[in-house]
Chains A and B, each alone.
Chain A
Amino acid sequence: MQHPTTERLIDYIHAALAPQDDAAVHMHLDECSECRQEHAVQIRLSEMLRADAAAHERELPPMLKAQIWNAVRSLEPTAMDRVRAWLRPAYSVPVAAALIVAAFVAPGYLHHNASGAPSIDAAYYLQDHAAMNGATPFGDHSGSAAAQFEETSNVDQTVLHAVPVVGMARVSR
């Protein structure tokens, strides 16, 4: 085998090569001291980066926490908040059930019913508290994250897209 390029070694140490390529580089490193040396340099760079990060790690300033809460409390309600507040009675189950039907009839997030009042996809309410109800709301370090994502992904198609969802889970750290 040819000597792997530095770029290939970088991909190798980040476990980003296809299994066959990974195995080939691994075997090559066994028998080539020149490449072992370059590999060691790359490993060392990663170690230095982690050591540098650890050395400069900071605590979350308590002031910042307070500032976040202050900022949140003083938030201007969004248009969505207003709609939601206006529609409070719709939280009842029968209405939500009716809205499920509506959700299948008309696409889109907001609908207008016969009287002209806006209503919201039932899916919105169904998903409403899912984040807090899950056994592991935050999937970090969770093994079953993929399964949970599967369960909720259909509902989430219809939910607020203010921020893009990163639909993935950390496998290992």
Chain B
Amino acid sequence: MGAIRKPLDPPSREQTAFLERAIEQYGKATYNFAYRLTRNEADARDLTQDAFIRVYRAWRSFVPGTSFLSWIYRIVTNLYRDELRRKKGRFQEEIPEDNAPQEFGGERPLAVNPIDEYVEGQLSEPLSRSLGMLSPDQRQVVILADIEEYSYQEIAEIMGCSIGTVRSRLHRARALLRRLVQKQQSQAQ
């Protein structure tokens, strides 16, 4: 590059305002999404922070008028996926996904946190606990379809997969959830 380098511009007012508005309007939703995915506060905080840093850096690539939430959920999804890959070795084996090959991760099955290690006060709740036993992909598709109420098409775009994959993941996740909840309920009786 050239010999003369001017000092860096301070961040533009627009860029700062963009981030401020993003945090204000979507910080809570993003944090809750991250928490539902990771199921522990420390990871949710890290994920949220990293996501907003990306928002700040890439703010120009946000298309005005489109859904900011979808955009940041996609960022969170990618960051979470990277993080899972990094931590892979530290997790235990997960519950097999009905003999289906793992679509997210790679050669070895990815795992959830050792059964809700961090989930305070939720162990007694069959549904919360069952959610923690799904694979990250299954959990995410359930969160997006049933809690966030996104369409299959929107989920496919957020997760970067086909609609068919969304559909089959959701079917498997719900079948598994149902079995897990029933099992826990019958054990409790």
Task: Please give the residue numbers on chain A whose beta carbons come within 8 Å of chain B beta carbons, in ascending order.
Answer: 6-7, 10-11, 14-16, 41-42, 45-46, 48-50, 52-53, 56-61, 64-65, 67-68, 71-72, 75, 77-78, 81-86, 88, 116-118, 124, 127-134, 136-140, 142, 144-145, 147-149, 151-153, 156, 159-171, 173
Contact = CB atoms under 8 A, between A and B. Distances in A.
Contact of B62 (A41, A71, A131): A131
Contacts of B151: 14-16, 171
Contacts of B18: 131-132, 137
Contacts, number: 219
A145 B66 contact: yes
Interface in B42-77: 45, 48-49, 52-54, 56-71, 73-75
Nearest to A124: B60
Contact of B54 (A88, A133, A162): A162
Interface in B103-161: 122, 125, 127-128, 131, 142-143, 145-147, 149-154, 157-158, 160
Nearest to B48: A64
Main secondary structure of the interface of B (DSSP, over half): helix
A108 to B, nearest CB: 17
A64 B63 contact: no
A85 B61 contact: no
A166 B158 contact: yes
Contacts of B153: 168
Contacts of B167: 7, 11, 16
A80 B158 CA distance: 26
Given A52-B131, A56-B35, A58-B35, 18 more contacts: A16-B167, A49-B131, A50-B147, A60-B23, A60-B48, A72-B11, A127-B60, A137-B64, A137-B68, A152-B63, A153-B63, A160-B58, A162-B54, A163-B61, A163-B71, A165-B63, A166-B74, A168-B154
Contact of A85 (B6, B48, B57, B147): B6
12 contacts: A41-B178, A45-B174, A49-B147, A53-B143, A61-B31, A64-B27, A71-B49, A132-B14, A136-B64, A137-B65, A165-B62, A170-B70
A98 B145 CA distance: 48
B188 interface: no
Interface of B: 1-2, 4-9, 11, 14, 17-19, 21-23, 25-28, 31-32, 35-36, 45, 48-49, 52-54, 56-71, 73-75, 78, 122, 125, 127-128, 131, 142-143, 145-147, 149-154, 157-158, 160, 167, 170-171, 174-175, 177-178, 181
A14 B58 contact: no
Nearest to B35: A58
Nearest 5 CB-CB pairings of A with B:
A148-B65, A134-B64, A138-B68, A162-B58, A163-B58
